[in-house]
Amino acid sequence: MTRRVLILAHTGREESMLAALEACVELHANNIVPVMYAEELADMTGYLGVSGVKMEILGRDVTLADIELVMVLGGDGTILRAAELVREYDVPLLGVNLGHVGFLAESEREELIQTVAAVVQRKYSVEERMCLDVVVKVAGKVVAHTWALNEVALEKGNRERMIEVVTEVDGRPLTSFGCDGVVMATPTGSTAYAFSAGGPVVWPGVEALLMVPISAHALFAKPLVVSPSSTLAVEVLSRNGAYGVIWCDGRRTVDLLPGSRIEVTRSSKPVNLARTQQSPFSERLVRKFELPVQGWRGPAEEVSQTPTTQLPIIKTTRPKTSLEGPPTGPVPPVPDLTVPPHESTYSGTTGFYGEDRT
């Protein structure tokens, strides 16, 4: 059976076209047919010249159903564009970073040959990444229905005016405030826009949804991490007349009038990312953000498993009261509080217990 790999590249950059040509040559040399879009192939051959490599055109010679894997050469934006193309076909994406950070990419430009070798030898695994299902409603009617891999970001449409919103989780309102926007993200998107807005970094293996306010003018406007089965919602209030706009992965956009409502849930359809390296996410975090880890010695090697250390238990002392133990001093006499009936001065109509009412 013929193996085919789709090459997606940012053909507006020379570095990307050179990497695409190199990948096509390596794949062809290993009996794998490289596939490209007609426009991107024309850009590459028109700029670099004819390579002599047998190529196939997506949409003319083959369809996405015939593709084993998509190799994306570029930054996170190029990978997000590729996700739009292949999400309905369950074709895995393998990113080679040519951008700045490239959190979605699996390898760097200098590792391109090794990455192609891993594809040739099928030494890659496929990882499912959660997506968001996004619904926009106005007056109870659905006006837009889309999705996002990283995040859906509600932003103010007027630069000079904050947007007023009320946030909601599982059908219950939380709080309202003025802000520059609200980001609702997946764990994959926790290192993107949500991270810049002050949200937490969530490991990809954690199933959760995030809600992160952007420059909120409020006392309680903290990032939230909720269950993946929860429903997040944000309503654009009309009290100041400001309108908003939502961006899904920075690519798909919808304008929002005051009174609009955005509902976000977990999508039933994920995006598949291919991985050639099995390094933990913490290692990728350190590498991508260039975090300082000098001085780390790591956990000490243990010859055998040590038992649980028995630490002393410190009991909290209680203050002594008059009920604890016998009295230590002389006991004062108890006064006789009994009032003889004939000496009672009570003038009401109710007699004391045992008194004659006549």
Residues serving a catalytic function are 76
Task: Report the distance separating Cα 269 and Cα 168, nearest Å.
Answer: 24
Beta strands in the chain (DSSP E): 4-9, 33-36, 56-57, 69-74, 93-97, 107-108, 125-129, 132-138, 141-148, 151-156, 163-169, 172-179, 181-185, 209-214, 224-226, 232-236, 244-248, 252-256, 261-266, 271-275
Sign of the C-alpha dihedral computed for residues 254, 259, 265 and 269 taken in this order: negative
Give the CA angle between residues 199, 168, 235 to the nearest 5°. Answer: 100
The amino acid that residue 308 corresponds to is: T
Written as six digits, the tokens of 21 are 């040509």
Q: Which residues of 38-65 are buried (b: 16+ CB within 10 A; e: fewer)?
A: eebbebbbeeeeeeeeebbebeeebebe
Candidates 273, 74, 274, 71; CA nearest to 186 is 273
Task: Say what the alpha-carbon torsion angle 336, 337, 341, 344 is, to the nearest 10 degrees.
Answer: 130
How large is the greatest C-alpha to C-alpha distance in the chain, in angstroms? 128
The residue to which tokens 């499912």 are assigned: 128
Candidates 40, 42, 85; CA nearest to 67 is 85
190 touches 203 (CB < 8 A): no
